[in-house]
Structure 1
Amino acid sequence: MDGVYSDLAAQDQGNVDLAKDKATSDLDKAAAVAKDAIDALQNLSAEEKAAAKTAIDQATTAAKDAVSGASTAADAAAASAAGQSTVAEVVTDATLRDAKLAAVKELDAKAASVKKAIDALTTVSEADKAAAKAAVDRVLAAAKEAVNAAPAAADANAASKAGKLAMDDVLIKLTSSSEGSSTSAVKPASPEQPNNGLASTGGEIQAALVLGMLVLCVGALVLSTRLRASRR
């Protein structure tokens, strides 16, 4: 009987060893895939990519240690799964960072483009141009804040899209105002209704409304992020 028990024990140990080998192999594969995903992110700096890869290595090493110390096949598999989950979180965080950087770049490029278009308008006063560009800057700042507070890439992209549309709207309102003023007589300003450029055309009002919406978006995103963090 002792021989039978010894054979069973040896078989069990063999199963555990096989499970550990598979768990370790799975961790190595997950780490390699994760590093490839990090390398594919186009907006991260070399330093940010290196930091993400270091985090992947640390998570993989810790998981391998847990696998090595496992006493059962199930424990080895669980340790490997936990390590792979941590590695996946590193990739998710890096991907979100990449999306935010891309969104900010798009917003900066859009702001520059809209300001250039504003400067090219020949029937708009310098004061109105300055007011319009100031409105673009306010929208840009609010949109960037919303992007940076985004808990997911989709939220960052949505905030960027809203900001770009708001900048377009500033230009559209200003262009419409200049076209209207060039084909109709301009009434003199009165003390009750001063002629203050964008304010009289609704451009600044529209920009202010969009700005308020973006600020509300920031608050909602921050609250969502805190709620998710509290549930972890």
Structure 2
Amino acid sequence: MVTDQFTAGRYGRRLFYALAALILAGCSQQPLLPLASSELTPVEPGNFDHVLMPPGERLPQFSRVYIEAPEVSMSDYWLRDRRTDYTERDLDRIREDYGELLTEALRQGLERETQLVFTDTPEEAEVVFRPTLRALNIYAPDLSRPGFIRHYTREAGNATFDLVVLTPAGEVLGQFIDHRETQSYHGRSLEWTNRVTNYHHFSRLMDRWTRNLSTYLLIGGVVPAAEF
């Protein structure tokens, strides 16, 4: 009886240590962030997943900004899942269209909430915004295949918003990163999804990112508020 209890206790301790090791390993394997600079460190993120700035630094006040043309990249999963369906022409169109959607959301949203002036060149600006839409995953195919197939989904997809704030000379001042799903359709019911509905729901997601950015900048006293 004593031997059995000793053996059970020994295996119990082994199981405990094994589980603890697994938990610690999982905690240490956090996804790597696409940092714009190795000097960036996490700060209060507000409504974003991550906000990063150089140690001990804050964003400077500014009122003139230049927005670079966004880069757009598809998720690896989407590229694998649709590899027999899409063409380079499809990819070029999606990148161009979603880049324009993001530029429009940033300009219109910031104009509505702040008094920022948007310049035509980085040299005229006090800071430069470098937006990227990463890991774009559109659930319903947005392709140019012949034929008529209806697709029904509960969400349009997901993507990662990555905005780097720089000086005109290229010095990194901060970075905002956030990954989100588009909002669910009414009552989470299935909805017929097509290119138009995809644009609509991703545009709303970009508007949300822009509102969160405006709020962060306004609360920090970084940009002047719009006059109503």
Q: Which has the higher contact order (CA 8 A, sep 6+)?
A: 2
Structure with more of its chain in helix, by fraction: 1
TM-score range, shorter chain: under 0.3
TM-score, length-normalised on structure 1? 0.25
TM-score, normalised via structure 2 length: 0.25
Q: Give the structure with higher Rg (CA).
A: 1
